[in-house]
Structure 1
Amino acid sequence: MSDDVGVDSTAREQAAAVAERRISARELLDLHLTRIAERNPELNAIVSLDEERARTGAAEADRTLAAGRPTGPLHGLPFAFKDTHAVAGWRTTYGSPLMADNVPEQDELIVERVRAAGVVVIGKTNVPEFAAGSHTFNTVFGTTLNPVDPTRSAGGSSGGAACALASGMVPLADGSDMGGSLRNPASFCGVVGLRPSLGRVPEWPHYNQWETTSVGGPMARNVGDLALLLSVMAGPDPRAPQALGDPGSVFAAPLGGSLDGLRVALSPDLAGTIAVDREVAQIVAGSAGTFRDAGARVVHEQPDLAAGDAVFRTLRAWHLHAKLGALHAAHPGALKTSLADNIDAGAPLTGADVAAAYAGRTMLSERMRVFFETHDLLVLPVSQVPPFPADQEFPSDIDGEPMQTYLDWMRAAYLITVTGCPAVSVPFGRTATGLPVGLQLVAAHGRDRFLLQAAAALESALA
């Protein structure tokens, strides 16, 4: 076993060590299972853990390598899929008691690709019910806690993934993002999460291939590892008609990148459009110095995204009703109240309502296209609050401004969702009590590699 590789090593270091046979997949698995045994009983990030099947998978990974057969870029890395992603033969509950015994017969596309890259599947990562809400709790497995402060939320809906990453239980993680489900938990747990451009990471099967608010994407402890996982997830597929044509391999090469000369628009609160905790706003505002020191030109500007509030809420309600309305009707009272209310909000929507939302979304997309003609990056908060107490479903207020629903405090994320632009959460600072705060970097649609280069440059500037 290599003495220089452990669970806190980068995913690239771990993959290289396995490929070079400095550590076996079985040994690497054992290291991670030890960490899981140490941290997971308290944090509850990984669910449906199956050590026996994981050991069988690791042994097969070692035999493949020994036989000289082709291997993928993630060969031998332990991996736990988000519990809303169907994994053939593995319990996939969507965090709902209605699906507690569900075992899919087929991998969905993102799982198919990650498995083909050589991972050793160990289990799933915890989610809120049907991924609704940015706090990870459900009645099947319970609540996932923040690895920095276990009295606090790990965020959601990819909260189990972010927590497992931050605590060294896995080297990489997959997620999905509608209103911030990759970005929010990354911010809360101090890791990196990317909501890619629409079409970058195709989804299949899907009840509606033309529904474009939710996307899959990667999470990691650093930007280079994030790019590695994106190289596996991204690329066209004939089953996904809206997939972008660039192959995933465009993300495989080292990122490089620089902030020197970039035109950065910085906005701690989108000109008052969003309520932001004072400490979070100060941390975001303080990033101006980091960008300027690295040679960027920083201006305090922002696009007008206020119309995105109605657009997102209409499309989210429409989507949830279309996807879950029949299940909700068949099992009244079975879903958590906030999810049920959001499904019900979709029932009275008319064709005119949905058409207006798509017209608004088209306007916002065009507004961002024009904005990025004169700016390279938009920088704003990921989450409008630091990690909140884990016994709350959502923050009741932000500096005294009431939050009426479980969506209100997520505007910084979901106003970007409806633009279709890629956005990445990068760890940037800590509150006075040590809670992580992420910085959200946004670029023009399709400029995912540029965005990751800028994020890697920011990461280097903070090192």
Structure 2
Amino acid sequence: MSDLVFTPAYQLAQMIRDRTVSAVEVLDAYLEQIVKCNSQLNAICTLDEERARQRAREADEALTRGENWGILHGVPVTIKDAFETAGLRTTAGYKTLKDYIPKTDATVVARLRASGAIVMGKTNMAKLTGDYQSHSDLFPQVNNPWNLECTPGGSSGGTAAAITAGLSPLDIGSDIAGSIRQPSHFCGVYGLKPTDRRVSTAGHIPEVPGMSHCIRQMLVAGPIARSIEDLRLCFSLIVGADPRQPEVPPIPLDSPNYKSLSNLRIAWIDELNLYPVARSIKSAMQAVAQKLSNAGIKIEQWIPKYDFELAWQVYYTVATYNLIYSLPLDFSYIRESLAFLLREATQGDRALRQLSNVPKIGLSTFLNPNLKGYYAALTQRDRFIAEMDAELEPWDALTCPVAMTPAFTHRLQGEAVVIDGRKVPYQMASGAYTKPFSLTGHPVVVIPVGYTPDGLPIGMQIVGKRWREMELLAIAQEINKVVGNFQHPPGYSDD
């Protein structure tokens, strides 16, 4: 059983096609793992066991007739509960949607089903995707498989925890501020944030069903998995233009150059002075640079000429304009938001709070939204995109930390995070290194590269050129050969 539940999805697909294992056997192994482990993790919030079993039997019967549904024929997958699933409860962790059963699939879900995948359940998440932890109105908090006292991150925390603990081989997350990347880092798995507008987010919540399509920038959908190969496979299935979301352009997949290690030119950041990282993360980044150098990769410490402080402010302005009309304004949501902003404004190092300034940026925009301000923010964003494009041009990729901190213990949203004895504002601790690339829309792969002295995973961002995901994944695979390696936490297999 343990071999199956920690086998990458692409290998499971081949095994099912070769008839060395049946789709029913694979599904049974995952359902057994869910029964064994989910009660302590709370990663799976909704199971579709009956329909999944029926579909797995049909998958095996189809193969006996010589039918092949697609590259993921018979492979069970899970889906972040933010994506609509036809006939299966989709809540986004929001009490108003506790009984919401969509009639249609989100585009990414429909594309996975079309490839032969079997949706066996939904993964738990932050309420309405709005937190760096995974707390919601409806389900217990998600716990990190490496340490149950710690968060797996958010908003795709259930997704990352499920992949890490062998409850699923593949899942789709979403990311507007780091919600694929931070959980991948906290849990020690692989994640891909594609280029902005590369993958359709039609059927993603928010927006709450029935509301206008308001989130027009920075929100992306992408895979979380246990291997680069699975990221590549899943991305190739979900990418592309969508009539439901006309702003997704019909850009074909790029063709990577497949450079050898010795021909790669990699830029490297261990930390930014504005955002000092935990010692364990800085040490891990330095160890990565040394290993890559020893392997013959041209790696150079380099910081782009980019105003990270202003980018933070522009990010929050654009994000607020995108979210202001897409989120509910019920009393409980407003009360929780104000409590979060109060904690964010008062907790953590004063200098870092002033640098972060989230409450002032968000509230000023929220209380006085106007088209002129929105267009001014988008104009600033355009400039940042062009600047980052130009800065990254000489490099094959940029490597940098995912967050200032490894996984931290559960806490109220907005409560400061202690990093090496220093209290850091909540949003900055998790978002300082992810938001710049959300703002510019550049693709990012996260790979696991080490562990803290306490045994918590450490991930690394590998940033590539916009619209060049296949090239980025090829580079990430070469880097991964030297410094990356998925390991499941102790206690989740029979080994």
- In structure 2, the residue matched to 1:421 is 442
Q: How does 1:243-392 map to 2 (within 5 A)?
A: 243-247=248-252, 258-270=260-272, 272-303=273-304, 304-306=306-308, 307-324=310-327, 327-328=328-329, 331-334=330-333, 337-338=336-337, 346-392=366-412
Q: What is the rounded CA distance, in whole Å, between the counterparts of 1:156 and 1:257 in structure 2?
A: 34
Moved more, 384-393 or 398-407: 398-407
- TM-superposed CA distance for 1:82, in Å, is 0.5
Q: What is the rounded CA distance, in whole Å, between the counterparts of 1:448 and 1:336 in structure 2?
A: 40
Q: What is the rounded CA distance, in whole Å, between the counterparts of 2:128 and 2:92 in structure 1?
A: 5
- TM-superposed CA distance for 1:395, in Å, is 4.2
User: Aligned in 2, Cα 1:91/1:65: closer, same or farther, shift over 3 Å?
Assistant: same
- TM-superposed CA distance for 1:320, in Å, is 1.5
User: Aligned in 2, Cα 1:209/1:241: closer, same or farther, shift over 3 Å?
Assistant: farther
- TM-superposed CA distance for 1:65, in Å, is 2.0
1:188-228 CA-partner distances (Å, limit 9, x unpaired): 11100010012321222574377121100111101011101
- In structure 2, the residue matched to 1:199 is 197
- In structure 2, the residue matched to 1:458 is 479
Q: Are the aligned partners of 2:143 and 2:152 in contact in 1 as well (CA < 8 Å)?
A: yes
2:49 maps to 1:51: yes
- TM-superposed CA distance for 1:338, in Å, is 3.5
- In structure 2, the residue matched to 1:215 is 220
- In structure 1, the residue matched to 2:244 is 239
- In structure 1, the residue matched to 2:145 is 147
Q: Residue 165 of structure 2: which of 139, 152, 167 is its match? A: 167
SS at match of 1:333: helix
- TM-superposed CA distance for 1:259, in Å, is 3.0
Q: Are the aligned partners of 1:133 and 1:407 in contact in 2 as well (CA < 8 Å)?
A: no
- TM-superposed CA distance for 1:98, in Å, is 1.7
2:474 maps to 1:449: no
SS at match of 2:440: coil
Q: What is the rounded CA distance, in whole Å, between the counterparts of 1:49 and 1:256 in structure 2?
A: 40
Q: What is the rounded CA distance, in whole Å, between the counterparts of 2:283 and 2:426 in structure 1?
A: 25
Moved more, 259-268 or 422-431: 259-268
- TM-superposed CA distance for 1:103, in Å, is 0.9
- Across the two proteins, how many residue pairs are aligned to each other? 453
Q: Are the aligned partners of 1:17 and 1:23 in contact in 2 as well (CA < 8 Å)?
A: yes
1:140-171 CA-partner distances (Å, limit 9, x unpaired): 01111111111111011111111111111111
Moved more, 226-235 or 407-416: 407-416
SS at match of 2:19: coil
- In structure 2, the residue matched to 1:97 is 95
- TM-superposed CA distance for 1:409, in Å, is 3.4
- TM-superposed CA distance for 1:280, in Å, is 1.1
Normalised to the residue count of structure 1, the TM-score between the two structures is: 0.92
SS at match of 1:412: coil
Q: Are the aligned partners of 2:258 and 2:471 in contact in 1 as well (CA < 8 Å)?
A: no
Q: What is the rounded CA distance, in whole Å, between the counterparts of 1:257 and 1:173 in structure 2?
A: 29
- TM-superposed CA distance for 1:446, in Å, is 1.3
Q: How does 1:425-436 map to 2 (within 5 A)?
A: 425-436=446-457
* Corresponding letter in the other structure for 1:148: W
1:423-450 CA-partner distances (Å, limit 9, x unpaired): 1110001001110000101011112111
Q: What is the rounded CA distance, in whole Å, between the counterparts of 2:385 and 2:315 in structure 1?
A: 13
Q: What is the rounded CA distance, in whole Å, between the counterparts of 1:273 and 1:135 in structure 2?
A: 23
Q: What is the rounded CA distance, in whole Å, between the counterparts of 2:51 and 2:416 in structure 1?
A: 39
Q: What is the rounded CA distance, in whole Å, between the counterparts of 2:293 and 2:47 in structure 1?
A: 46
User: Aligned in 2, Cα 1:280/1:142: closer, same or farther, shift over 3 Å?
Assistant: same
User: Aligned in 2, Cα 1:115/1:336: closer, same or farther, shift over 3 Å?
Assistant: farther
Q: Are the aligned partners of 1:5 and 1:14 in contact in 2 as well (CA < 8 Å)?
A: no
User: Aligned in 2, Cα 1:181/1:431: closer, same or farther, shift over 3 Å?
Assistant: same
- TM-superposed CA distance for 1:401, in Å, is 4.7
1:224-279 CA-partner distances (Å, limit 9, x unpaired): 1110111111122233333243446x68x9x9654322222111223x13232222
Q: Are the aligned partners of 2:447 and 2:459 in contact in 1 as well (CA < 8 Å)?
A: yes
Q: Are the aligned partners of 1:321 and 1:347 in contact in 2 as well (CA < 8 Å)?
A: no
Q: Are the aligned partners of 2:214 and 2:323 in contact in 1 as well (CA < 8 Å)?
A: no
* Corresponding letter in the other structure for 1:438: G
* Corresponding letter in the other structure for 2:31: L
Q: What is the rounded CA distance, in whole Å, between the counterparts of 1:4 and 1:136 in structure 2?
A: 26
User: Aligned in 2, Cα 1:4/1:382: closer, same or farther, shift over 3 Å?
Assistant: closer
Moved more, 261-270 or 156-165: 261-270
SS at match of 1:138: coil
SS at match of 1:265: strand
1:306-360 CA-partner distances (Å, limit 9, x unpaired): 2210111111111121101xx21xx212467248858865242333322222122
2:36 maps to 1:31: no
Moved more, 165-174 or 60-69: 60-69
Q: What is the rounded CA distance, in whole Å, between the counterparts of 1:283 and 1:295 in structure 2?
A: 19
Q: What is the rounded CA distance, in whole Å, between the counterparts of 2:213 and 2:292 in structure 1?
A: 40
User: Aligned in 2, Cα 1:149/1:238: closer, same or farther, shift over 3 Å?
Assistant: same
* Corresponding letter in the other structure for 1:231: S
SS at match of 1:34: helix
